[in-house]
Amino acid sequence: MYVIRRSPNNPILAPFADVQWESRGTFNGCPVKHNGMTYLLYRALSKPDALMAPGGISSIGKAVSLDGKEFRGRRQFIAPEESWDKYGCEDPRVTFFEGKYVIFYTALGGMPFNAGNIKVAVALSKDLEHIDERHLVTPFNAKAMALFPERIDGKITVILTVHTDEPPARIAIAQCDRLEELWDISFWETWYSQLEDHIINPLRFEHDHIEVGSPPIKTKDGWLMFYSYIQNYFGGGDRVFGIEAMLLGLHDPHKIVGITKGPIMVPEENYERYGVVPNIIFPSGVILEGNRLDIYYGAADTVCASASLHLPDLMNALIPARRVELMVRAKENPILTPMHEHAWESRAVFNAATIDLEGTVRILYRAMSEDNTSVIGYAESKNGIKITERDEKPAYVPRENFEMKMGSSTGNSGCEDPRIVKIGSTLYMFYTAYDGVHPPHVAMSSISQKDFLAKKWDKWSTPIITTPENYDDKDTCIMSSKIGDKFVIIHRIESQICADFLDTLDFTKERVSRCIDIMSPRPGSWDSKRIGIAGPPLKTAKGWLLIYHGVSKTGTYRLGAALLDLKNPSIVISRTVDTIFEPLESYERVGQVPNVVFSCGMVERDDELFIYYGGADSCLGVAKIPLKKLLQILLPASLK
């Protein structure tokens, strides 16, 4: 499990409208260290040339930075001037190798662009001030060649994308003894005749597309490289441009020894979604500083940007043997199952609110009868796992018209998915109220702690609707303390998690009326279809810890984690790239709704979080996760 954090300085490089050669775009930058500074070589896109290139001509620019954040001294470094690159020089990849800087780039040798005139070229420089020589490299269609920074078992090694413009594209490895062989046509003729022996294939589906991204960097576990992975490029759904990573063998770079399960990043920010070519992010370079890995990427074919990862966390996610579930299921799972002798909970019990009071975990769980009416049951656990008490009657039942069954006699209705928070001496329970006909609402009822502990369930206040009419608004709770003088409501509109700031909890005077965006689904990821909160956020010294559920395009429910700003919880400090928990056990994969883990509550005990979750909408389980470790992943020291 790991997080990625975009630089607050993004975009780190943007076009200058009054500079002709880079007026439309400055993107796909590749960094390299030289004389204590970071040099960034990038693709610069000019204003359109009506006679030669209506879309503009690309060249390679250079900028310099002392801190890797603010780049100055921009100038054109490699301009189109050879017959094989006269229509553009694109996407440089620079590596310092045996005393010189080797810069591979895409050379455009004709118009209109086609597979026959798009190839790889190389420029060599001793000092990054002057180009000493340049050559055409591949005699066939190829792009995105990058040089490994050292020989592998005595061999010079490059990685490239073959047939990028006459797909299917393939990522491949080439090795030679002398650098000069890389611009020797006879070398490539021999290599190409054995192409299948050189291919490495990270594709998950044949309708997807891949391209080499950053030059590889060496780690103790293998050669790490980031690449472009485009989902549905050849049909089958919306195209999603993502950045992914793979780890190649230290002594055999043809072997993939680790790979991410999906995208590390997808277009989310405005500078990634809008530009010359919208909704594109493309990895082009990387710098390793201690345990911090800085990825440089192009956004919307317009600007350069960067984002950072904590390398040890990424490696733990990449290497299969290190992928361990941070959340550990209780061996007693499921801890609650339906009781057929109780009609009101004979079909299913799941999705529980939880609160720790007087040394006992109090569990308010959703229970369903055979006619699919939901009520809320009550159970207790001294140690947070073993059920020590379970009531024979519900703690809360539908009482108002908005939660009484109005549709089919066997359709879903009632009080669903409670979440509970204590403020002062009062417990506030938010839950989904559904009559089976109208869009679901979120209702709120409260009870004093004294009456709750005495199980005086008749003391629940009359429930009141908290969310707006005619919206699918669910997964709602109140935060446990005010922000300034405001109560903060977290809720879900359609597919995104939102906030609203209210003066009062008297919802007869003020309902939830705003959707201040906190988080949205990420295209092409495990949480691409819909997200919503799990239990109420937990206040920590580092921020509000939010566990949330994400739904994929296939309908699988998983859990992730995010850290929200203490003073303004609508600001996300960090968010896990991958899931922290997913349905694996039979009771999570088989049930009323298959492949679901869905949480409404958690409690903290001895630096461990006990997260209670419904399995397949049928039973209740619990899993533990170390709070300190989770916070370290969400806010690693290297990214502070």
Q: What is the CATH number of the domain that holds 144?
A: 2.115.10.20
- Higher pLDDT: 260 or 471? It is 260
Q: Are residues 346 and 308 in the same domain?
A: no
Q: Are residues 336 and 441 in the same domain?
A: yes
* Per-residue DSSP letter, 495: T
Count of residues in the chain:
640
Q: Are 76 and 59 in contact (CB under 8 A)?
A: yes
Mean per-residue pLDDT over the chain, rounded: 94
Q: Among the three residues 278, 297, 322, which one is the final residue of a domain in this structure?
A: 322
Strand positions, DSSP E, 471-566: 473-478, 487-493, 496-502, 516-519, 530-533, 538-540, 543-551, 557-564
Pairwise CA distance, residues 607 & 196, whole Å: 52
pLDDT higher than threshold 80 for residue 153: yes
Average pLDDT of the segment spanning 87-101: 96
Q: Are 531 and 549 in contact (CB under 8 A)?
A: yes
Q: Are residues 374 and 234 in the same domain?
A: no
* 348 falls within a domain: yes
* 6 falls within a domain: no
pLDDT higher than threshold 80 for residue 49: no
Predicted local confidence at residue 10, as pLDDT: 95
Share of the chain above pLDDT 90, in %: 86
Q: Which residue range forms the structural domain that includes residue 236?
A: 14-322
pLDDT higher than threshold 80 for residue 320: yes
pLDDT higher than threshold 80 for residue 474: yes
Predicted local confidence at residue 633, as pLDDT: 93
What is the number of domains present in the chain? 2
* 87 falls within a domain: yes
Q: Are residues 237 and 349 in the same domain?
A: no
Q: Are residues 286 and 348 in the same domain?
A: no
Average pLDDT of the segment spanning 376-400: 97
Q: Are residues 363 and 314 in the same domain?
A: no
pLDDT tens digits for 205-238? Answer: 989 999 999 999 999 999 999 999 999 999 888 8
Share of the chain above pLDDT 70, in %: 99
Predicted local confidence at residue 619, as pLDDT: 98
Q: Which of 9-13, 47-51, 62-66, 444-448 has the lowest mean pLDDT?
A: 47-51
Q: Are residues 306 and 346 in the same domain?
A: no
Strand positions, DSSP E, 316-436: 328-329, 348-357, 360-368, 373-381, 389-390, 413-423, 426-434
The pair of three-digit structure tokens given for residue 598, joined into one six-digit string: 């869905």
Assign 473 a pLDDT band (cuts: 50, 70, 90). Answer: confident
* 8 falls within a domain: no
Q: Are residues 308 and 354 in the same domain?
A: no
* 189 falls within a domain: yes
Q: Among the three residues 292, 322, 352, which one is the final residue of a domain in this structure?
A: 322
Sequence-ordered list of residues with C-beta below 8 angstroms from that of 99, at least 6 positions apart, any chain = 126
pLDDT higher than threshold 80 for residue 144: yes
* 2 falls within a domain: no
* 90 falls within a domain: yes
Q: Among the three residues 289, 322, 355, which one is the final residue of a domain in this structure?
A: 322
Q: Are residues 303 and 442 in the same domain?
A: no
What are the CA-CA distances from residue 49 to residues 55, 81, 111, 395, 404 (Å)?
7, 16, 12, 73, 68
Total-model pTM: 0.93
Average pLDDT of the segment spanning 514-539: 94
Quick one: which of 32, 2, 104 has its CA closest to 285?
32
Q: Are residues 237 and 336 in the same domain?
A: no
Q: Are residues 475 and 546 in the same domain?
A: yes
Q: Are residues 287 and 157 in the same domain?
A: yes
Predicted local confidence at residue 374, as pLDDT: 97
Assign 183 a pLDDT band (cuts: 50, 70, 90). Answer: very high
Predicted local confidence at residue 54, as pLDDT: 73
* 1 falls within a domain: no
**HSE on the CB side for 624, CA within 13 Å?**
13
